[in-house]
Amino acid sequence: MMKKALIFGITGQDGSYLAEFLLKKKYKVHGVKRKSSSLNTDRVDHIYEENNKNFFLHYGDLTDAISVNRLVNIIKPDEIYNLAAQSHVAVSFVIPNYTANVDALGCLNILEAIKSLGLDKKVKFYQAGTSEMFGKVLESPQTEKTPFYPRSPYGVSKVFSHWMTINYRESYKMFACNGILFNHESPRRGETFVTRKITIGLAKIKLGLQKKLILGNIYAKRDWGHAKDYVEAQWLILQQKKPDDFVIATGKQYSVKHFINIVAKELNMKITWRGKGINEKAYDANNNIIIECNRKYFRPSEVQTLLGNPTKAKKILKWKPKISVSELAKEMIQNDLRILSHNDKKK
């Protein structure tokens, strides 16, 4: 009998990759999308176009407990993946209440639905955590035992969900797990996130469609992986005999500036850095400023460094990242060049 998975956040980067992954594993995949006046299914439209009979989309809202209850009751899934979130850290400072409603209470709504419907012995639950929970890091690299010190409403909300998942696991013997995922990117990353902002920005400059790219803290260091690798880890977490929590990371760290250099090299763009701190700028071969920093893109409280230790995941899940940061950047750039070229032809 085919397993059934329910994915909250299926229209996002991780949700779309996870849907593809589970369909290849012969799952029936149910996804939840919010009712919106604009189409927001572009990341999963290709699955529909393939006429996949095991793929279903449902309207729902993670902040609406009745909506969540109804979906869990109708579908009665074997596995639930909560990937839905207001996931932009900077935006969480602007709309903290909404961020908390989705990222904190949304997780609680799912856990309570599983319990109240008597599915606590049937359903396996995965909660998408984040390295932002570590925030002002108290040790490096960060492991499953590193204390949290979140530095944004996003990080704080995710800490609530993390501990609520553990509380329901210990209180009601539910198979409920946390994946503490470090930064993971892909061509499906939203254009407001820094890696995608860099790849599409430099691609536009390369093609003469844009003169300059404005960024925030280029000295921030992150542990970057590929979303394709990370959704496999999410699935593996729910295939274990006992529920547990895992750090999912590459164990390697790069600054935003270093990522820029990787992208520029891939685009055959020779750039030179001059200046220090907020005044550091990147110049092209013709001595034009193509990258500069602006404090308005800094967070109210910055997270300077995040570096994960995936030893536990490697040992227990037998998981390891396959795609390097250079390969990731190359894939993102090629995708952005293809999109820009296609848009140019449509004009």
Which residues are within 8 A (CB) of 272 and not within 5 positions of it... i.e. 6 or more apart? 282, 283
Residue of 20, 79, 132, 185 marked catalytic: 132
Residue 141, token pair as written in the block = 């690299």
- Phi, psi for 232 (deg, rounded to 5): -65, -40
219 assigned to active site: no
Residue of 17, 81, 126, 154 marked catalytic: 154
- Phi, psi for 178 (deg, rounded to 5): -115, 135
Backbone conformation region of residue 5, classed left if phi is above 0, alpha if psi is from -120 to 50, else beta: beta
Residue 289, token pair as written in the block = 């400023």
Compute CA distances 21 → 109, 223, 289, 319, 342, whole Å. 26, 23, 42, 15, 27
> How buried is 56 (Cβ within 10 angstroms: 0-12 exposed, 13-18 middle, 19+ buried)?
middle
- The answer to whether residues 81 and 22 touch, using CB atoms and an 8 Å cutoff, is no
Residue of 130, 146, 199, 250 marked catalytic: 130
Of residues 252, 228, 269, 327, the one with CA closest to residue 24 = 228
| 3 state DSSP class of 148 | coil
Compute CA distances 89 → 104, 140, 266, whole Å. 14, 21, 28
The label of the residue with tokens 């949304």 reads: 106
Of residues 318, 179, 180, 324, the one with CA closest to residue 250 = 324
132 assigned to active site: yes
154 assigned to active site: yes
Which residues are within 8 A (CB) of 155 and not within 5 positions of it... i.e. 6 or more apart? 89, 130, 132, 133, 135, 148, 303
Compute CA distances 220 → 45, 98, 118, 119, 298, whole Å. 35, 26, 45, 43, 10
Q: Catalytic site residues?
A: 130, 132, 154
